[in-house]
Amino acid sequence: MSPPRFILALPRDRPPTQGIVRETNPLVKPQATAWLWASDAMPVADAGDGSVVIGHCFSRAGPKNGIGWFQHSSDATQSAKSLLRKGWGAYFAVLPDVSTNRWQVMSDPSGLLPVFRLLTSSHVILSSDPALFQGASGLKPEVCWRRTLHHLMQPDLRQRATCLAGVDELPPGVLLDPSSPDAPEQVLWSPSDHFPANAALTFESAREELRAVACNVLDAWQMALGPVAVAVSGGVDSSFICGALAAGGREFGCITLATAEAGGDERYFARLLANHLDRPLMEFIYDPAALTPQSFASKGMPRPSRRTFVMAVDTMLARGAAELAAAVVLDGNAGDNLFCYLHSAVPVVDRLRSEGPGFGTFSTLLDMCRVTGCDIPTMAKETLRELRQGGSAPSFFCDTRLLTTDAHSDSEIEPLVSWPENVHGPCTGKHDHVALIMRARHNIHGISSRVPRLSPLMSQPLLETCLRIPTWLWPTGGVNRALARAAFASELPAELFTRTAKPGPDGFIRQAFERNRSQLHVLLREGLLVKNGLLDTTQLDRVFAGETANDWKTVRRLLDLAEAENWAKSWQA
């Protein structure tokens, strides 16, 4: 079966009265009428009166066939609000608006179905896969070096502009006219709309709500996608997914990946989890030889946003899924972000502002001391500093390492979502929570991923539930993500709850880097990034010649640059 993909062409100068024609070939050239092609794996629902919902859209009232619950309106704004209020999933809504006689579109807030836009003189072309643009428009996407530089400056911030010339990404939860980039946009979904309204929410009630929502979300996804496997490590986030599936009585298998050295081997915890739940477990070992200087994981994507080592992850998870006869692998990506894993005094400040000084605030101060490992005086000092300064909207680190001096200006960078600007009131820990969620955008897998992966934790109901929970409940008892740990305590092994830190594939990545160090130097030194003025060759030579390349942050940076180099070459071919 082909991967889930779609491409939609809308004439810029024609009203939506003629509706959308379904095509069987994605290579159709733009016509006088609007047309849509979708692969067999991409659901498309006719919502009536020319409206179309592409992707998976579930009812909040429970699993239902189709979208008969959706109340279509001649007013695109009302239709979009109805979708957001009554539904969720990974979808893209195409809605004609009678009052303006124009097409309006909206991506759902989860970001699990990213949609990219290419404007031509006659059409706006929208797709989940930029590789389809050439066939529909006759224009081959080309690398924009300025945008690529901006991406490398702030690789954790998903931006509206992609690294392809003329291609941008539509912001989730925003209703807009896709053919008019300068037209006003309606932000219909914002995190601040779901901030805590009940500061008196208890840990137990929050736990029960989180559990119920997670069960509903995972139940809906498995019903829609078929047999699933879960990429497990015995950590909080993947165990949370397993707990929700087990609580719903769902069948699933488990896959775990380990490094050859003990530092990155979590098979003991993965086996503990799988045995406790009586689920099959597939185990694989990272092989440093699997990564070469020519390896890259962002093929076909509009940005070099994936890290090279996940190529090895993709291969092993695909093998495991095939052996388990699973249609898709669920992962716990974005769990740290969603479950409010903060390392600061802001939860203490939030509770102090809400309840004033007292036992509750002091207990949160102690909780954050345990989470961060600092002493009481230090945490108290940081709390007072936050109170005095009033906080500030979190910024995203600008990384200019190994880039040319042109990289020192980030004034042109526009985030995909402007959520921090839409957060009103005093700058509390929820601002930091929102920033965490924004940073997860590049790391989640959606339904249109080129690999059979899905990151269900970013589903809209879970996103809204976690935003509603006050920050001070998450570190209750002095452990990070305490609510997520407690949600499925009755389904999971108790030993997993005590894990507050876990290893990763760092050793495997270091070994792969050292095996290919000289070739990577040549790749970058003689590559497109240098030829187009993005890299500082003096700094690059110094790093490869010195011991600084043994620094983990520098190794990661060099591998990210190699990923960008190979990504750019793939679009130039």
Least confident of 390-394, 402-406, 416-420, 457-461: 390-394
- Which residue, 563, 320, 331, is CA-closest to 443? 331
Which pLDDT score, from 0 to 100, does residue 65 have? 54
How far is 556 from 571, CA to CA, in rounded Å?
Answer: 23
At 200, which amino acid appears? A
| Strands 281-285 and 328-330, bridge-based pairing | unpaired
488-499 burial: b if 16+ Cβ within 10 Å, else e: beebbeeebbeb
Give CA angle at 193 (181, 62), nearest 5°: 95
Q: What is the pLDDT of residue 274?
A: 97
Q: Quick: pLDDT tens for 130-168.
A: 999 998 888 889 999 999 999 999 999 999 999 999 999
Report which DSSP code applies to 9. E
Q: Which fold has domain 6-189?
A: Glutamine Phosphoribosylpyrophosphate, subunit 1, domain 1 (3.60.20)
* Cα 417 to Cα 282: distance, rounded to the nearest angstrom: 38
Within 13 Å, how many C-alpha atoms sit on residue 374's CB side? Answer: 14
Among candidates 491, 88, 144, 70, which has minimal Cα distance to 302?
Answer: 144
**351: which 2 tokens?**
């509770």
The answer on pLDDT for 172 being more than 90 is: yes
Q: What is the pLDDT of residues 337-361, one digit of tens each?
A: 999 999 999 999 999 999 999 999 9
* Residue 38: strand pairing partners: 6
Mean pLDDT over the full length of the chain: 91
CA atoms of 300 and 571, how far apart (whole Å)? 8
Q: Is 140 exposed, middle or buried (0-12, 13-18, 19+ CB in 10 A)?
A: exposed
Q: Indicate whether 306 pLDDT > 90.
A: yes
Q: Which helix (H) or strand (E) holds 366?
A: helix 359-372
The DSSP letter of residue 161 is B
Find the Cα–Cα–Cα–Cα dihedral 245, 246, 249, 253, rounded to 10°: 70
DSSP state of 323: H
Query: What distances in angstroms separate CA 206 from CA 365, 474, 475, 522, one per listed residue?
Result: 20, 10, 13, 54
What does the pLDDT read at residue 424? 56
Separation of CA 229 from chain center: 19
- Look at residues 86, 89, 211 and name the one whose alpha carbon lies nearest to residue 465: 211
pLDDT tens digit sequence for 517-569: 999 999 999 999 999 999 999 999 999 988 765 688 899 999 999 999 999 99
Three-state secondary-structure class, residue 174? strand
Residue pair 416/396 in contact by the 8 Å Cβ criterion: no
Q: Please state, in angstroms and as integers, the Cα–Cα distance from residue 188 to each residue in 174, 376, 438, 549, following that order.
A: 6, 42, 17, 46
Report the chain's terminal Cα–Cα distance, integer Å.
26
Q: Name the token pair of 380.
A: 């108290």
The CB density around residue 376, as the number of other CB atoms within 10 Å, is 12
pLDDT score, position 147: 95
pLDDT of residue 406: 66
Residue 232 has pLDDT above 90, yes or no: yes
pLDDT in tens, 465-506: 999 999 999 999 999 999 999 999 999 998 888 777 777 788
pLDDT of residue 491: 95
- Tell me what pLDDT residue 194 has: 92
Could you tell me what percent of the chain has a pLDDT over 90?
72
Rounded CA separation 459/60 (Å): 12
pTM, entire model: 0.95
Find out whether 287 and 507 touch, Cβ atoms under 8 Å.
Answer: no
| 526 φ, ψ (degrees, to nearest 5) | -110, 20
Q: For 504-525, b where at least 16 C-beta lie within 10 A, e where not — what string?
A: ebbbbbbbbbeebeeebbebbe
Cβ 5 vs Cβ 128: under 8 Å: yes
Cα distance between residue 452 and residue 448, in whole Å = 9
- Spatial CA neighbour of 205 closest among 468, 456, 458, 429: 468
pLDDT at 387: 87
Position 262 scores a pLDDT of 80
Residues 375, 291: Cα–Cα separation, whole Å: 43
Strand, coil or helix: what is 286? coil
Class of residue 412 by CB neighbours under 10 A (exposed 0-12, middle 13-18, buried 19+): exposed
Tell me which amino acid residue 399 is: D
CATH superfamily label, 193-338+440-498? HUPs (3.40.50.620)
Tokens of 6: 């779609």
For 75-128, write each residue's pLDDT tens digit: 999 999 999 999 999 999 999 998 888 999 999 999 999 999 999 989 999 999
pLDDT of 425 > 70? The answer is no
- Structure tokens, 563: 């990923």
Residues spanned by CATH 3.40.50.620 within the chain?
Answer: 193-338+440-498
Mean pLDDT of the region 258-278: 92
Residue 423's pLDDT is 59
Q: What's the whole-number mean pLDDT along residues 280-291?
A: 93
C-beta separation of 473 from 348 below 8 A: no
Digit-coded pLDDT (tens) for 48-89: 888 999 999 999 987 655 677 777 778 999 999 999 999 999
Residue range(s) in the chain whose domain bears CATH number 3.60.20: 6-189
